[in-house]
Amino acid sequence: MLVIGPPGSGKGTQAARISERLGVLAISTGEIFRANVKDGTPLGLEARKYIDAGGFVPDGATNNMVHERLSGNDTQNGFLLDGYPRTAAQTDYLDKILDAQGQGLDMVLELAADREELTARLLGRARAAGRTDDTRHVIRRRLGLYHEQTEAVVSEYAKPGILASVDGTGAIEAVTDRLFQAISTRTAAAPRRPSPVYRAAGPSRGM
């Protein structure tokens, strides 16, 4: 399963809630990057340059990190990805990883919110947590990049019918309820379906 949405949409919060309720491993690329930045690792030093400038970490570094993480034994019974894929190239790379493992996606959840709401959330988060990557200028750039790059990913996942768009505004609990309603609807409506590139791959175990 994937959780997709623009910066500030609440992906991390909701991914953690889904993970806890369903007992599914949550993998957040943002958390991995921030941990590396904090520890001063080579990946962290590279990532920080892009994060502080409001950009995305290049596909090569991100793909390698995700590939390594998805190769772990703890992903074989299901996983939930938060923050990846962000670009069409990352989507293709994820397809290849899962195809090689005989896996496929069950569902892609998109959290939607308007730009003003997202900006207000991110500025509030910056004040509360002192995050250097959440200035107004950086926020505008990150939202612009999402519009340019990641919305194409959302469109691609809509083609095989595994995408559910959920209103991400309002109280956290209300958003969680909407997400689980979407999950229930998807589960009841159709059998599992692999993601676009590897439709002929083996049985799906993405959730």
Q: What is the pLDDT of residues 55-83, one digit of tens each?
A: 778 888 888 888 888 888 888 778 999 98
Residue with tokens 């941990």: 35
Q: Is the residue at 45 inside a domain? A: yes
How far is Cα 154 from Cα 88, in angstroms, rounded to an integer? 10
Tokens 């207000």: give the residue: 120
User: Does residue 90 fall inside a structural domain?
Assistant: yes
Q: pLDDT tens digits for 129-164? A: 877 767 888 899 889 988 888 888 998 899 888 999
Cα separation, 99 vs 103, in Å, equals: 6
Quick check: is 103 in a domain? yes
Encoded amino acid at 12, one letter = G
Active site residues: 11, 86, 125, 131, 142
Is 188 contained in some domain? yes
- Is residue 205 in some structural domain? no
Longest dimension (CA), the chain: 48
How many structural domains are present in the chain? 1
Residue 204 has pLDDT above 50, yes or no: no
Joined tokens for residue 159? 């083609």
Output DSSP code: residue 80: E
Q: Is 207 among the domain residues?
A: no
- How far, in Å, CA of 170 to CA of 92, rounded? 33
Q: What is the pLDDT of residue 41?
A: 82
**Does residue 203 belong to any structural domain of this protein?**
no
Q: Structure pTM?
A: 0.79
**Residue 91 in contact with residue 153, Cβ under 8 Å?**
yes
CATH number of domain containing 69 = 3.40.50.300
Residue 202 domain-assigned (yes or no): no
Place of tokens 């004040």: 127
The domain of 135 spans 2-197
C-beta separation of 85 from 91 below 8 A:
yes
Q: What is the pLDDT of residues 176-199, one digit of tens each?
A: 999 999 999 988 765 444 444 433
Residue 182: in which H helix or E strand, if any? Answer: helix 172-189
